[in-house]
Structure 1
Amino acid sequence: MNHVIAKLRLRKGSESSKLKKVLSNVTLYTLPNDLANNIVYDPGTILDEGEWFSISEFSQKPFFLQFLADYTDSVAYEQLEVNQISNIDYICTCENANVFYFQRITKTQLLEKKVITIGDQFRYNANSKNIVVNDTADAIYVKEDDTLYFKKLSAITGIFKGIDQLFREATTAETETFLAKDFIRLENNFSANDVKQANRKRIALAMATLNNFDDEQKNTVFDTVKEYCPQLVADDNTFKIETENDLTLLLYGIDQRFYTTPDGKEKRIANSVIRLGAAV
Protein backbone atom coordinates (compact mmCIF):
# COMPACT_ATOMS: atom_id res chain seq x y z
CA MET A 1 0.00 0.00 0.00
CA ASN A 2 1.18 3.51 -0.78
CA HIS A 3 1.09 6.34 1.74
CA VAL A 4 2.18 9.96 1.44
CA ILE A 5 3.52 11.44 4.66
CA ALA A 6 4.81 14.90 5.43
CA LYS A 7 7.64 15.91 7.70
CA LEU A 8 6.87 19.16 9.53
CA ARG A 9 9.23 21.80 10.82
CA LEU A 10 8.35 22.00 14.49
CA ARG A 11 10.38 23.41 17.36
CA LYS A 12 9.26 20.88 19.94
CA GLY A 13 8.24 17.25 19.98
CA SER A 14 9.81 13.97 18.98
CA GLU A 15 10.78 13.22 15.41
CA SER A 16 7.85 10.83 15.03
CA SER A 17 5.37 13.53 16.08
CA LYS A 18 6.57 15.64 13.16
CA LEU A 19 5.40 13.03 10.65
CA LYS A 20 1.84 13.45 9.40
CA LYS A 21 -0.25 11.43 6.96
CA VAL A 22 -1.30 13.29 3.82
CA LEU A 23 -2.82 10.67 1.51
CA SER A 24 -3.21 6.90 1.14
CA ASN A 25 -3.65 4.64 -1.86
CA VAL A 26 -2.15 7.10 -4.32
CA THR A 27 0.94 6.81 -6.50
CA LEU A 28 2.89 10.03 -6.90
CA TYR A 29 6.00 8.42 -8.38
CA THR A 30 7.18 5.21 -9.99
CA LEU A 31 10.70 3.82 -10.15
CA PRO A 32 12.57 5.48 -13.04
CA ASN A 33 13.65 3.19 -15.86
CA ASP A 34 17.17 4.64 -15.71
CA LEU A 35 17.78 4.03 -11.99
CA ALA A 36 20.17 1.19 -12.88
CA ASN A 37 22.42 3.85 -14.45
CA ASN A 38 23.82 4.94 -11.12
CA ILE A 39 27.26 6.02 -10.01
CA VAL A 40 28.58 5.96 -6.46
CA TYR A 41 28.47 9.55 -5.27
CA ASP A 42 31.64 11.50 -5.88
CA PRO A 43 31.72 15.32 -5.86
CA GLY A 44 34.18 15.21 -8.74
CA THR A 45 31.62 13.55 -11.01
CA ILE A 46 29.10 15.33 -13.21
CA LEU A 47 26.13 13.19 -14.16
CA ASP A 48 25.17 12.65 -17.77
CA GLU A 49 21.53 12.67 -18.83
CA GLY A 50 19.72 9.61 -17.45
CA GLU A 51 22.21 8.94 -14.62
CA TRP A 52 21.82 8.95 -10.84
CA PHE A 53 24.15 9.15 -7.88
CA SER A 54 23.90 6.37 -5.31
CA ILE A 55 24.91 5.80 -1.69
CA SER A 56 24.91 2.15 -0.65
CA GLU A 57 24.55 0.85 2.92
CA PHE A 58 22.56 4.00 3.54
CA SER A 59 21.11 2.78 6.84
CA GLN A 60 24.65 2.80 8.27
CA LYS A 61 25.20 6.47 7.50
CA PRO A 62 24.87 9.14 10.22
CA PHE A 63 22.31 11.07 8.16
CA PHE A 64 19.95 8.08 7.78
CA LEU A 65 16.37 8.79 8.85
CA GLN A 66 15.25 6.42 11.58
CA PHE A 67 11.63 6.31 10.45
CA LEU A 68 12.79 4.48 7.31
CA ALA A 69 13.94 1.58 9.48
CA ASP A 70 10.83 1.63 11.67
CA TYR A 71 8.25 2.15 8.93
CA THR A 72 5.67 -0.52 8.09
CA ASP A 73 2.38 -0.26 6.20
CA SER A 74 0.57 -0.49 9.54
CA VAL A 75 2.33 2.53 11.04
CA ALA A 76 -0.30 5.14 11.88
CA TYR A 77 0.34 8.86 11.71
CA GLU A 78 -2.03 11.69 12.55
CA GLN A 79 -3.67 13.36 9.57
CA LEU A 80 -2.01 16.52 8.30
CA GLU A 81 -4.17 19.57 8.87
CA VAL A 82 -4.65 22.17 6.16
CA ASN A 83 -3.26 24.94 8.35
CA GLN A 84 0.01 22.98 8.70
CA ILE A 85 1.03 22.94 5.05
CA SER A 86 3.26 26.00 5.41
CA ASN A 87 5.32 24.00 7.92
CA ILE A 88 6.01 21.08 5.58
CA ASP A 89 9.72 20.36 5.25
CA TYR A 90 9.40 17.49 2.80
CA ILE A 91 6.97 14.81 1.68
CA CYS A 92 7.73 11.13 1.38
CA THR A 93 5.75 8.61 -0.62
CA CYS A 94 6.09 5.17 0.99
CA GLU A 95 5.52 2.36 -1.48
CA ASN A 96 4.90 -1.06 0.08
CA ALA A 97 7.28 -0.22 2.94
CA ASN A 98 10.18 -0.77 0.56
CA VAL A 99 10.58 2.20 -1.78
CA PHE A 100 10.52 5.75 -0.41
CA TYR A 101 10.31 8.80 -2.69
CA PHE A 102 11.36 12.15 -1.20
CA GLN A 103 10.56 15.66 -2.34
CA ARG A 104 11.70 18.80 -0.55
CA ILE A 105 8.87 21.32 -0.23
CA THR A 106 9.95 24.90 -0.74
CA LYS A 107 7.83 28.03 -0.84
CA THR A 108 7.63 27.79 -4.63
CA GLN A 109 5.90 24.41 -4.28
CA LEU A 110 3.25 25.73 -1.88
CA LEU A 111 0.62 27.63 -3.81
CA GLU A 112 -2.11 29.65 -2.17
CA LYS A 113 -3.98 31.34 -4.99
CA LYS A 114 -7.31 31.97 -6.59
CA VAL A 115 -7.79 29.25 -9.22
CA ILE A 116 -10.28 27.88 -11.70
CA THR A 117 -10.23 24.11 -11.41
CA ILE A 118 -10.64 22.09 -14.60
CA GLY A 119 -12.44 18.76 -14.14
CA ASP A 120 -15.85 17.47 -15.16
CA GLN A 121 -16.80 21.10 -14.95
CA PHE A 122 -15.09 24.39 -14.20
CA ARG A 123 -15.00 25.42 -10.55
CA TYR A 124 -13.74 28.60 -8.97
CA ASN A 125 -11.81 28.40 -5.72
CA ALA A 126 -11.03 31.74 -4.08
CA ASN A 127 -8.70 30.21 -1.47
CA SER A 128 -6.93 27.32 -3.15
CA LYS A 129 -4.00 25.70 -1.33
CA ASN A 130 -1.85 23.30 -3.32
CA ILE A 131 1.37 21.31 -3.00
CA VAL A 132 3.14 21.04 -6.34
CA VAL A 133 4.48 17.53 -6.98
CA ASN A 134 7.60 17.34 -9.16
CA ASP A 135 7.81 14.92 -12.06
CA THR A 136 10.89 13.30 -10.52
CA ALA A 137 11.57 12.75 -6.83
CA ASP A 138 14.56 14.52 -5.28
CA ALA A 139 15.70 11.22 -3.75
CA ILE A 140 14.67 7.58 -3.80
CA TYR A 141 15.50 5.10 -1.05
CA VAL A 142 15.13 1.39 -1.83
CA LYS A 143 15.05 -0.37 1.51
CA GLU A 144 15.61 -3.83 0.06
CA ASP A 145 18.93 -2.70 -1.43
CA ASP A 146 19.66 -0.20 1.36
CA THR A 147 20.57 2.36 -1.32
CA LEU A 148 19.74 6.02 -1.74
CA TYR A 149 19.54 7.48 -5.24
CA PHE A 150 19.58 11.18 -6.12
CA LYS A 151 20.70 13.61 -8.81
CA LYS A 152 21.63 16.78 -6.90
CA LEU A 153 23.13 16.74 -3.43
CA SER A 154 22.00 20.33 -2.86
CA ALA A 155 18.38 19.28 -3.37
CA ILE A 156 18.42 16.81 -0.47
CA THR A 157 20.58 18.47 2.18
CA GLY A 158 17.42 19.80 3.82
CA ILE A 159 15.99 16.27 4.04
CA PHE A 160 18.99 14.27 5.21
CA LYS A 161 20.68 16.53 7.74
CA GLY A 162 24.45 16.21 7.57
CA ILE A 163 24.59 14.64 4.12
CA ASP A 164 26.24 17.85 2.91
CA GLN A 165 29.39 16.59 4.65
CA LEU A 166 29.83 14.48 1.51
CA PHE A 167 30.72 17.71 -0.24
CA ARG A 168 31.28 20.31 2.41
CA GLU A 169 33.03 23.63 2.18
CA ALA A 170 36.28 24.24 3.99
CA THR A 171 35.84 26.66 6.87
CA THR A 172 37.70 29.96 6.90
CA ALA A 173 40.19 28.48 9.37
CA GLU A 174 40.70 25.41 7.18
CA THR A 175 41.12 27.60 4.10
CA GLU A 176 43.74 29.68 5.89
CA THR A 177 45.53 26.53 7.03
CA PHE A 178 45.63 25.19 3.48
CA LEU A 179 46.91 28.45 2.01
CA ALA A 180 49.64 28.47 4.67
CA LYS A 181 51.05 25.12 3.47
CA ASP A 182 54.77 25.19 2.71
CA PHE A 183 54.19 24.34 -0.96
CA ILE A 184 52.10 27.51 -1.49
CA ARG A 185 53.32 31.10 -1.79
CA LEU A 186 50.62 33.76 -1.75
CA GLU A 187 51.17 36.85 -3.86
CA ASN A 188 49.28 40.00 -4.83
CA ASN A 189 47.65 40.07 -1.35
CA PHE A 190 45.65 36.93 -2.10
CA SER A 191 44.08 35.51 1.09
CA ALA A 192 41.34 33.22 2.40
CA ASN A 193 38.89 36.10 2.01
CA ASP A 194 39.33 35.86 -1.77
CA VAL A 195 38.43 32.15 -1.93
CA LYS A 196 34.90 31.57 -3.23
CA GLN A 197 32.51 28.70 -2.49
CA ALA A 198 33.60 26.39 -5.32
CA ASN A 199 37.25 26.47 -4.29
CA ARG A 200 36.38 26.12 -0.61
CA LYS A 201 34.69 22.84 -1.53
CA ARG A 202 37.75 21.80 -3.54
CA ILE A 203 40.01 22.70 -0.61
CA ALA A 204 38.04 20.41 1.70
CA LEU A 205 38.54 17.59 -0.79
CA ALA A 206 42.19 18.45 -1.38
CA MET A 207 42.98 18.39 2.34
CA ALA A 208 41.42 14.94 2.67
CA THR A 209 43.32 13.77 -0.42
CA LEU A 210 46.68 15.05 0.81
CA ASN A 211 46.15 13.46 4.22
CA ASN A 212 45.91 10.09 2.49
CA PHE A 213 49.05 10.61 0.38
CA ASP A 214 52.53 9.57 1.39
CA ASP A 215 55.50 11.81 0.50
CA GLU A 216 56.16 10.01 -2.78
CA GLN A 217 52.55 10.46 -3.92
CA LYS A 218 52.62 14.14 -2.99
CA ASN A 219 55.83 14.70 -4.95
CA THR A 220 54.36 12.94 -7.98
CA VAL A 221 51.22 15.07 -7.88
CA PHE A 222 53.14 18.31 -7.40
CA ASP A 223 55.52 17.42 -10.26
CA THR A 224 52.49 16.90 -12.48
CA VAL A 225 51.09 20.32 -11.58
CA LYS A 226 54.45 21.88 -12.41
CA GLU A 227 54.48 20.11 -15.76
CA TYR A 228 50.97 21.20 -16.75
CA CYS A 229 50.99 24.65 -15.09
CA PRO A 230 54.56 25.98 -15.21
CA GLN A 231 53.22 29.52 -14.73
CA LEU A 232 52.39 28.59 -11.12
CA VAL A 233 55.97 27.62 -10.23
CA ALA A 234 57.75 30.24 -8.13
CA ASP A 235 61.50 30.75 -7.93
CA ASP A 236 61.66 28.73 -4.70
CA ASN A 237 59.83 25.81 -6.40
CA THR A 238 56.58 26.48 -4.54
CA PHE A 239 53.26 27.32 -6.20
CA LYS A 240 52.53 31.03 -6.42
CA ILE A 241 48.86 31.80 -5.97
CA GLU A 242 47.76 35.26 -7.02
CA THR A 243 44.20 34.64 -8.17
CA GLU A 244 41.27 32.27 -7.77
CA ASN A 245 42.15 30.75 -11.13
CA ASP A 246 45.67 29.93 -9.89
CA LEU A 247 44.18 28.22 -6.85
CA THR A 248 41.70 26.30 -9.01
CA LEU A 249 44.51 24.90 -11.17
CA LEU A 250 46.48 23.78 -8.13
CA LEU A 251 43.41 22.10 -6.63
CA TYR A 252 42.65 20.37 -9.92
CA GLY A 253 46.21 19.11 -9.89
CA ILE A 254 45.89 17.69 -6.37
CA ASP A 255 42.70 15.96 -7.53
CA GLN A 256 44.76 14.53 -10.43
CA ARG A 257 42.56 15.92 -13.18
CA PHE A 258 45.35 16.75 -15.62
CA TYR A 259 45.87 14.32 -18.48
CA THR A 260 47.28 14.13 -22.00
CA THR A 261 45.42 12.66 -24.97
CA PRO A 262 46.65 9.18 -26.00
CA ASP A 263 48.35 10.60 -29.08
CA GLY A 264 50.29 12.96 -26.83
CA LYS A 265 49.23 16.04 -28.73
CA GLU A 266 46.93 17.79 -26.29
CA LYS A 267 46.99 18.45 -22.56
CA ARG A 268 43.60 18.64 -20.86
CA ILE A 269 41.78 19.08 -17.54
CA ALA A 270 39.03 16.59 -16.73
CA ASN A 271 35.86 18.49 -15.85
CA SER A 272 34.31 15.37 -14.31
CA VAL A 273 35.81 12.23 -12.82
CA ILE A 274 34.41 8.73 -12.43
CA ARG A 275 36.73 6.43 -10.51
CA LEU A 276 37.00 2.91 -11.87
CA GLY A 277 34.97 0.61 -9.67
CA ALA A 278 32.64 3.45 -8.68
CA ALA A 279 30.13 2.81 -11.44
CA VAL A 280 27.44 0.22 -10.75
Structure 2
Amino acid sequence: MNYLLAKLKGRGVNKYGILLSGVTAYDFDINNYASVAYEPDHKLDGDCWFKIDAFLGQAFSGDFLKKAFVAADYSQLKAKDLSEIAFICSIQGGDYFFQKVTPSTLIRRKMISMGAQVELEEGSPKIIVNESPGALYVAKQDALYFRSLSTISTIFRGIEVLFKEATQEETSDFLNEPFISVSNGYGVDKVGKFNRKRIAMAMETLGKLDGKTKSKLFTYVSKYCPGLKYNKKLGIFEIGNEEELKNLLYGIEERYYTTLHGKEKRLANSVVSLA
Protein backbone atom coordinates (compact mmCIF):
# COMPACT_ATOMS: atom_id res chain seq x y z
CA MET A 1 0.00 0.00 0.00
CA ASN A 2 1.13 3.55 -0.70
CA TYR A 3 1.50 6.04 2.14
CA LEU A 4 1.86 9.80 2.31
CA LEU A 5 3.99 10.83 5.28
CA ALA A 6 5.14 14.16 6.63
CA LYS A 7 8.24 15.06 8.58
CA LEU A 8 7.67 17.67 11.29
CA LYS A 9 10.27 20.31 12.05
CA GLY A 10 13.03 19.07 14.32
CA ARG A 11 15.34 16.10 14.23
CA GLY A 12 14.68 12.38 14.59
CA VAL A 13 12.71 9.56 12.96
CA ASN A 14 9.99 10.05 15.60
CA LYS A 15 9.13 13.34 13.87
CA TYR A 16 7.60 11.42 10.95
CA GLY A 17 3.86 10.75 10.84
CA ILE A 18 1.24 9.48 8.39
CA LEU A 19 -1.02 11.90 6.54
CA LEU A 20 -2.86 9.51 4.19
CA SER A 21 -2.78 5.89 3.07
CA GLY A 22 -3.71 4.30 -0.23
CA VAL A 23 -2.90 7.43 -2.28
CA THR A 24 -0.49 8.16 -5.12
CA ALA A 25 0.76 11.70 -4.67
CA TYR A 26 3.13 11.77 -7.66
CA ASP A 27 2.50 10.60 -11.21
CA PHE A 28 6.20 10.67 -12.00
CA ASP A 29 8.53 8.17 -13.68
CA ILE A 30 12.26 8.82 -13.40
CA ASN A 31 12.84 6.43 -16.31
CA ASN A 32 11.51 9.16 -18.61
CA TYR A 33 14.52 11.32 -17.76
CA ALA A 34 18.26 11.17 -18.25
CA SER A 35 20.55 11.27 -15.21
CA VAL A 36 24.16 12.18 -14.46
CA ALA A 37 26.32 11.62 -11.40
CA TYR A 38 26.26 14.72 -9.22
CA GLU A 39 28.96 17.30 -9.94
CA PRO A 40 28.66 20.70 -8.23
CA ASP A 41 29.68 22.65 -11.35
CA HIS A 42 27.36 20.83 -13.76
CA LYS A 43 24.33 22.67 -15.17
CA LEU A 44 21.45 20.30 -15.84
CA ASP A 45 19.47 20.15 -19.05
CA GLY A 46 15.70 20.36 -18.64
CA ASP A 47 15.20 16.61 -19.00
CA CYS A 48 18.08 15.52 -16.76
CA TRP A 49 18.41 14.77 -13.03
CA PHE A 50 21.39 14.36 -10.75
CA LYS A 51 21.95 10.88 -9.32
CA ILE A 52 23.83 9.58 -6.27
CA ASP A 53 24.45 5.83 -6.35
CA ALA A 54 24.94 3.67 -3.23
CA PHE A 55 23.00 6.33 -1.36
CA LEU A 56 22.43 4.47 1.91
CA GLY A 57 26.19 4.24 2.36
CA GLN A 58 26.41 8.04 2.49
CA ALA A 59 26.64 9.69 5.91
CA PHE A 60 23.87 12.13 4.95
CA SER A 61 21.30 9.50 3.91
CA GLY A 62 19.76 9.59 7.40
CA ASP A 63 18.09 6.84 9.44
CA PHE A 64 14.61 6.99 7.92
CA LEU A 65 15.51 5.22 4.66
CA LYS A 66 17.73 2.66 6.36
CA LYS A 67 14.91 0.92 8.23
CA ALA A 68 12.10 -1.01 6.60
CA PHE A 69 8.90 1.02 6.50
CA VAL A 70 6.20 -0.36 8.82
CA ALA A 71 3.07 1.79 8.95
CA ALA A 72 2.27 0.72 12.51
CA ASP A 73 5.47 2.42 13.70
CA TYR A 74 4.10 5.85 12.75
CA SER A 75 1.31 7.89 14.30
CA GLN A 76 -1.47 9.62 12.38
CA LEU A 77 -0.83 13.35 12.05
CA LYS A 78 -3.52 15.87 12.95
CA ALA A 79 -4.62 19.06 11.21
CA LYS A 80 -2.85 21.08 13.92
CA ASP A 81 0.46 19.56 12.77
CA LEU A 82 0.22 21.04 9.27
CA SER A 83 2.08 24.26 10.08
CA GLU A 84 4.95 22.22 11.56
CA ILE A 85 5.58 20.12 8.43
CA ALA A 86 9.11 20.48 7.04
CA PHE A 87 8.63 18.12 4.09
CA ILE A 88 6.39 15.35 2.82
CA CYS A 89 7.36 11.87 1.68
CA SER A 90 5.16 9.71 -0.55
CA ILE A 91 6.01 6.02 -0.45
CA GLN A 92 4.87 4.55 -3.76
CA GLY A 93 5.70 1.00 -4.84
CA GLY A 94 8.65 0.94 -2.45
CA ASP A 95 10.15 4.19 -3.74
CA TYR A 96 10.31 7.42 -1.72
CA PHE A 97 9.24 10.77 -3.20
CA PHE A 98 10.32 13.82 -1.17
CA GLN A 99 9.08 17.41 -1.37
CA LYS A 100 10.10 20.31 0.84
CA VAL A 101 7.18 22.32 2.24
CA THR A 102 7.82 26.03 1.82
CA PRO A 103 5.59 29.08 2.44
CA SER A 104 4.77 29.09 -1.29
CA THR A 105 3.41 25.52 -1.11
CA LEU A 106 1.35 26.10 2.05
CA ILE A 107 -1.94 27.88 1.38
CA ARG A 108 -4.20 29.31 4.10
CA ARG A 109 -6.60 31.45 2.04
CA LYS A 110 -10.31 31.19 1.42
CA MET A 111 -10.87 29.18 -1.76
CA ILE A 112 -13.78 28.27 -4.00
CA SER A 113 -13.92 24.51 -4.44
CA MET A 114 -15.68 23.14 -7.53
CA GLY A 115 -16.27 19.44 -6.99
CA ALA A 116 -19.67 17.75 -6.84
CA GLN A 117 -20.87 21.18 -5.77
CA VAL A 118 -19.39 24.65 -5.52
CA GLU A 119 -18.25 25.48 -1.99
CA LEU A 120 -16.44 28.29 -0.26
CA GLU A 121 -13.75 26.78 1.96
CA GLU A 122 -12.91 28.90 4.96
CA GLY A 123 -9.16 29.03 4.61
CA SER A 124 -8.28 25.56 5.92
CA PRO A 125 -4.53 25.13 5.33
CA LYS A 126 -3.48 23.11 2.26
CA ILE A 127 -0.17 21.86 0.90
CA ILE A 128 0.41 22.05 -2.84
CA VAL A 129 1.84 18.80 -4.22
CA ASN A 130 4.16 19.63 -7.09
CA GLU A 131 4.12 17.76 -10.39
CA SER A 132 7.56 16.33 -9.69
CA PRO A 133 9.25 15.65 -6.33
CA GLY A 134 12.26 17.48 -5.02
CA ALA A 135 14.05 14.17 -4.65
CA LEU A 136 13.31 10.52 -5.37
CA TYR A 137 14.93 7.53 -3.69
CA VAL A 138 14.65 4.37 -5.81
CA ALA A 139 15.12 1.52 -3.35
CA LYS A 140 15.97 -1.23 -5.88
CA GLN A 141 18.81 0.90 -7.24
CA ASP A 142 19.83 2.39 -3.89
CA ALA A 143 19.96 5.69 -5.79
CA LEU A 144 18.81 9.21 -5.01
CA TYR A 145 17.67 11.48 -7.85
CA PHE A 146 17.33 15.25 -7.51
CA ARG A 147 17.73 18.48 -9.48
CA SER A 148 18.79 21.04 -6.87
CA LEU A 149 21.09 20.36 -3.93
CA SER A 150 19.92 23.45 -2.06
CA THR A 151 16.28 22.33 -2.32
CA ILE A 152 16.93 19.03 -0.52
CA SER A 153 19.63 20.12 1.93
CA THR A 154 17.07 20.41 4.75
CA ILE A 155 15.72 16.94 3.94
CA PHE A 156 19.09 15.17 3.90
CA ARG A 157 21.15 16.94 6.54
CA GLY A 158 24.81 17.18 5.59
CA ILE A 159 24.33 16.56 1.86
CA GLU A 160 25.75 20.03 1.20
CA VAL A 161 29.19 18.42 1.72
CA LEU A 162 28.88 17.47 -1.95
CA PHE A 163 29.08 21.17 -2.78
CA LYS A 164 32.72 21.25 -1.81
CA GLU A 165 34.33 24.65 -1.35
CA ALA A 166 37.96 25.39 -0.72
CA THR A 167 38.55 26.46 2.86
CA GLN A 168 40.08 29.82 3.76
CA GLU A 169 43.48 28.15 4.13
CA GLU A 170 43.13 26.20 0.86
CA THR A 171 42.08 29.36 -0.99
CA SER A 172 45.08 31.22 0.43
CA ASP A 173 47.41 28.36 -0.56
CA PHE A 174 46.02 28.36 -4.10
CA LEU A 175 46.53 32.11 -4.56
CA ASN A 176 50.09 31.64 -3.30
CA GLU A 177 50.86 29.03 -5.96
CA PRO A 178 54.00 29.94 -7.96
CA PHE A 179 51.97 30.33 -11.19
CA ILE A 180 49.75 33.08 -9.67
CA SER A 181 50.53 36.68 -8.81
CA VAL A 182 47.68 38.69 -7.26
CA SER A 183 47.24 42.40 -7.96
CA ASN A 184 44.83 45.30 -7.42
CA GLY A 185 44.38 44.43 -3.76
CA TYR A 186 42.74 41.11 -4.66
CA GLY A 187 43.16 38.37 -2.09
CA VAL A 188 41.61 35.46 -0.23
CA ASP A 189 38.90 37.55 1.46
CA LYS A 190 37.57 38.66 -1.93
CA VAL A 191 37.22 35.16 -3.38
CA GLY A 192 33.52 34.31 -3.68
CA LYS A 193 31.63 31.09 -3.07
CA PHE A 194 31.60 29.83 -6.64
CA ASN A 195 35.29 30.48 -7.22
CA ARG A 196 36.04 28.66 -3.95
CA LYS A 197 34.15 25.71 -5.35
CA ARG A 198 36.16 25.93 -8.58
CA ILE A 199 39.40 26.17 -6.58
CA ALA A 200 38.55 22.91 -4.80
CA MET A 201 38.14 21.22 -8.19
CA ALA A 202 41.26 22.86 -9.66
CA MET A 203 43.42 21.75 -6.73
CA GLU A 204 42.33 18.17 -7.31
CA THR A 205 43.07 18.46 -11.03
CA LEU A 206 46.49 20.05 -10.59
CA GLY A 207 47.44 17.43 -8.03
CA LYS A 208 47.38 14.81 -10.80
CA LEU A 209 49.66 16.72 -13.21
CA ASP A 210 53.44 16.84 -13.52
CA GLY A 211 55.35 20.05 -14.18
CA LYS A 212 55.59 19.59 -17.96
CA THR A 213 51.84 18.96 -18.28
CA LYS A 214 51.07 21.99 -16.12
CA SER A 215 53.20 24.16 -18.41
CA LYS A 216 51.24 22.96 -21.45
CA LEU A 217 47.98 23.59 -19.59
CA PHE A 218 48.94 27.17 -18.77
CA THR A 219 49.87 27.83 -22.41
CA TYR A 220 46.43 26.50 -23.37
CA VAL A 221 44.76 28.87 -20.87
CA SER A 222 46.68 31.89 -22.16
CA LYS A 223 45.67 31.00 -25.72
CA TYR A 224 41.95 31.02 -24.92
CA CYS A 225 42.06 33.89 -22.41
CA PRO A 226 44.08 36.68 -24.02
CA GLY A 227 42.63 39.07 -21.44
CA LEU A 228 44.55 37.27 -18.72
CA LYS A 229 48.02 38.70 -18.20
CA TYR A 230 50.42 35.77 -18.55
CA ASN A 231 54.20 35.93 -18.32
CA LYS A 232 55.15 32.97 -20.49
CA LYS A 233 58.80 33.13 -19.52
CA LEU A 234 58.04 32.90 -15.80
CA GLY A 235 54.83 30.89 -16.19
CA ILE A 236 52.83 33.32 -14.03
CA PHE A 237 49.24 34.59 -14.37
CA GLU A 238 48.36 37.98 -12.89
CA ILE A 239 45.00 37.76 -11.09
CA GLY A 240 43.35 40.97 -9.97
CA ASN A 241 39.63 40.16 -9.66
CA GLU A 242 36.99 37.42 -9.53
CA GLU A 243 36.48 37.29 -13.31
CA GLU A 244 40.17 36.72 -13.99
CA LEU A 245 40.33 34.00 -11.35
CA LYS A 246 37.24 32.32 -12.83
CA ASN A 247 38.80 32.34 -16.31
CA LEU A 248 41.96 30.74 -14.97
CA LEU A 249 40.02 28.10 -13.07
CA TYR A 250 37.89 27.25 -16.11
CA GLY A 251 41.11 26.84 -18.05
CA ILE A 252 42.60 24.48 -15.49
CA GLU A 253 39.49 22.32 -15.96
CA GLU A 254 39.98 22.59 -19.76
CA ARG A 255 36.56 24.12 -20.34
CA TYR A 256 37.70 26.04 -23.43
CA TYR A 257 37.51 24.44 -26.88
CA THR A 258 37.32 25.21 -30.60
CA THR A 259 34.53 23.80 -32.77
CA LEU A 260 35.66 21.36 -35.44
CA HIS A 261 34.06 22.94 -38.52
CA GLY A 262 33.31 26.56 -37.62
CA LYS A 263 36.58 27.01 -35.69
CA GLU A 264 34.65 29.01 -33.11
CA LYS A 265 36.20 29.32 -29.66
CA ARG A 266 33.75 28.37 -26.91
CA LEU A 267 33.45 27.84 -23.17
CA ALA A 268 31.68 24.78 -21.77
CA ASN A 269 29.75 25.88 -18.65
CA SER A 270 29.27 22.23 -17.66
CA VAL A 271 30.69 18.95 -18.83
CA VAL A 272 29.88 15.24 -18.71
CA SER A 273 32.73 12.75 -18.97
CA LEU A 274 32.13 10.21 -21.76
CA ALA A 275 34.87 7.89 -20.59
User: Fold conserved (TM > 0.5)?
Assistant: yes
- Normalised TM-score (structure 2): 0.90
> In 2, Cα distance between the equivalents of 1:44 and 1:230?
24
Distance in 2 (alpha carbons) for counterparts of 1:173 and 1:89: 35
Q: How many residue pairs align between the two structures? A: 273
* Equivalent residue number for residue 2 of structure 2: 2
One-letter amino acid matched to 2:156: F
Q: 1:244 to 1:84 in 2, by over 3 A?
A: same
Q: Hey, what does 2:41 align to over in structure 1?
A: 44
Q: Which residue of 2 aligns with 1:244?
A: 242
Q: Distance in 2 between matches of 1:176 and 1:42?
A: 24
Tell me the CA shift for residue 155 of structure 1.
1.5
Q: 1:167 aligns with which of 153, 159, 163?
A: 163
Deviation of 1:153 (Å): 1.8
Q: What is the CA-CA distance between 1:74 and the residue it aligns to?
A: 4.2
Using the aligned pairs only, state the percent identity. Answer: 40
> Are positions 1:53 and 2:50 aligned together?
yes
Write the mapping of 1:70-219 to structure 2, written as runs, cut at 5 A: 70-96=67-93, 98-219=94-215
SS at match of 1:124: strand
CA deviations over 1:210-230 (Å, ceiling 9, x no partner): 334444443332232122224
Distance 1:125 1:200, change over 3 A: same
Secondary structure of the equivalent of 1:145?
coil
Residue 16 of structure 2 aligns with which residue?
19
Contact 1:8 1:18 in 2 (8 A): yes
Q: Is the alpha carbon distance of 1:33 and 1:7 closer, same or farther for their aligned partners in structure 2, counting shifts above 3 Å?
A: closer
Q: Conserved in 2, the CA contact under 8 Å of 1:117 and 1:124?
A: yes
How far, CA to CA, are the matches of 1:129 and 1:248 in structure 2? 46
Instruction: For 1:75 and 1:216, locate their aligned partners in 2 and report how far apart those are by CA, in whole Å.
Output: 64
1:261 to 226, 247, 259: 259
Gaps of 5+ in 1: none
Query: 1:270 corresponds to which residue?
Result: 268
State the TM-score, normalized to the length of structure 1. 0.88
CA contact (8 A) 2:218 2:235 kept: no
Cα shift at 1:191: 1.9
Q: CA deviation at 1:164?
A: 1.6
TM-superposed deviation, 1:6: 1.1
| Cα RMSD after superposing both structures | 2.1
Q: Does the CA-based 8 Å contact 1:44-1:274 persist in structure 2? A: no
8 Å Cα contact 2:17-2:76 kept in structure 1: yes
